[in-house]
Amino acid sequence: MKPTLLVVDDEPAIRESVAYVLSGEGYNVDEASDGLTGLELAQGRAYDLIILDIMLPSLTGTEICQRVRLESDVPILMLTAKDAEVHRVLGLELGADDYVTKPFSLVELASRVRALLRRRELDRSRDSLRRVGGLEIDLRRDQVTVEGTPIRLTPSEFRLLALLAEEPGREFTRREIMQHLWKSEYVGDMRACDVHVVGLRQKIEDEPTKPRRLLTVRGVGYKLVAA
């Protein structure tokens, strides 16, 4: 899916040129010509990146940046005047990720946008990976590797492993596990938890009958540890 960007600038020539170039790069682009409209759009839609002019009617770019940061980590690129160093510093302190000084090259702006989007994608990829010793769980791709070797899990086994990997070493009760798997307070027969664990051990342990990773906690449930 193509990234969706928001461009907020009260100068039509700049706003339209930026939108035109970014659309040509393959992005979906929304536009706003004043601060209040820009804030409403930013808060009402999940954008992949926002480009904000500092000086805007009704609400400044720094005010928009500050409000957006209260609820989102979307990348923000500020457009600033050549002599507006104070505004640039303030924008970065309020959570902006980068800035471009007017007048600017549209080629440079597009390059900065690509760099910010790449960085965001890398950050998301890191957040989606959970490593516990030789185990690696990729939450985005629903993939698991053991010592670099891919293994196939059932959906329930994957959800169980992902849960235990949230806090390696923590003891999860059978009830917690079944509530997570069922996505309900009703857990049914909790012996089903043991069945899922047995199946998962067959795939992630060298010796399933002598587990080193997925350990039983007597009287409680299970925990995942590095091995």
Residues contacting 169, CB < 8 A, separation 6+: 223, 224, 225
Helix/strand/coil for 155: helix
Model confidence pLDDT, tens digit, residues 20-31? 999 999 999 999
Is the fold of 4-127 the same as that of 129-224?
Answer: no
Model confidence pLDDT, tens digit, residues 105-150? 999 999 999 999 988 887 666 668 889 999 999 987 889 999 999 9
> In this structure, are residues 173 and 167 in contact, taking their beta carbons and an 8 Å threshold?
no
Percent of the chain's residues with pLDDT above 90: 60
Q: How many residues does the chain have?
A: 227
Mean pLDDT of the chain: 89
For domain 129-224, give the fold.
Arc Repressor Mutant, subunit A (1.10.10)
Q: Which residue has the higher pLDDT, 181 or 98?
A: 98
The CATH classification of domain 4-127, taken from the options 1.10.8.60, 3.40.50.2300, 3.20.20.140, 2.40.340.10: 3.40.50.2300
- Radius of gyration over alpha carbons of the chain, in Å? 24
Distance between terminal CA atoms of the chain? 38
* pLDDT at 227 (0 to 100): 85
β-strand partners of 144 = 137, 151
For the chain, give every domain's residue range: 4-127, 129-224
Q: DSSP readout, 45-57? A: S--SEEEEESS-S
Mean pLDDT of 36-64: 94
